[in-house]
Amino acid sequence: AILGLAWSIGAVCESLHTAQYLVQSLQGAISPVWLPALTTLTAAGVSFAIGSSWGTMSILMPLAVPLAHTLTAGLGAEAQQFYLIATLSSVLAGATFGDHCSPISDTTVLSSIFAGADHIDHVRTQLPYALVVGAVAWLVGDVATAFGLPVWAALAIGIALLGAIVRIVGKPTPRFSESA
């Protein structure tokens, strides 16, 4: 049912020529360097709002491809390929992130049910972790690599940052005891 609705929304976007409108509106207004980072934020917002990563992907993929193609038209083939792949992966990453954080997502609801936890408590406890990891991934993975940081360096910096955050902010958990 969710995929059917998503395909319907995709068909409406196609009928309204949404991709062409976006291309005309954003051409010259944003640099291709910012396209992957902005795409991640857009996908995360849409996915959080509708509670479906698959729905978000089916809505945004037909919009992201022509947008990436047009915004990178004056660049070389290697740069075009880089920004296209980065933009498409940003749709996937943002959609997955937004779905994970969304309280109306089917996976979030099922996780809380099967964990035997109150749904809102489950969302409240998971959201801080997801937001920290999402922010580090966005800053190091999208923004920094768009400005030339090698992917291997971004991965190492991201791991180091998350490790430092856990070390500084994290608190030890009490030891589990069978007798308790």
pLDDT by 10s per residue, the chain, length 180 = 566 766 676 676 677 666 666 766 666 777 888 999 999 999 999 999 988 888 889 888 888 888 888 888 888 888 889 889 999 999 999 999 999 999 988 888 888 888 888 888 888 888 999 999 999 999 998 899 888 899 899 999 999 999 999 999 988 888 877 765
Query: What pTM was computed for the model?
Result: 0.81
Do 47 and 98 touch, CB atoms closer than 8 A? yes
178 within some domain: no
11 within some domain: yes
- The span from the CA of 60 to the CA of 55, in Å, is 9
User: What pLDDT is attached to residue 93?
Assistant: 95
174 within some domain: no
Whole domain around residue 87: which residue ranges?
A: 2-169
Do 134 and 44 touch, CB atoms closer than 8 A? yes
* CB within 8 Å of 23: residues ≥ 6 apart: 66, 67, 70, 71
CA–chain centroid gap for 44, Å, is: 5
177 within some domain: no
179 within some domain: no
- The span from the CA of 138 to the CA of 36, in Å, is 10
107 within some domain: yes
CB-count exposure of residue 47 (10 Å: 0-12, 13-18, 19+): buried
User: What pLDDT is attached to residue 95?
Assistant: 95
User: What pLDDT is attached to residue 17?
Assistant: 66
Question: In 3-state terms, the chain is what percent helix, strand and coil (to 5)?
Answer: 80, 0, 20
131 within some domain: yes
95 within some domain: yes
CB-count exposure of residue 4 (10 Å: 0-12, 13-18, 19+): exposed
Task: Count how many domains the chain has.
Answer: 1
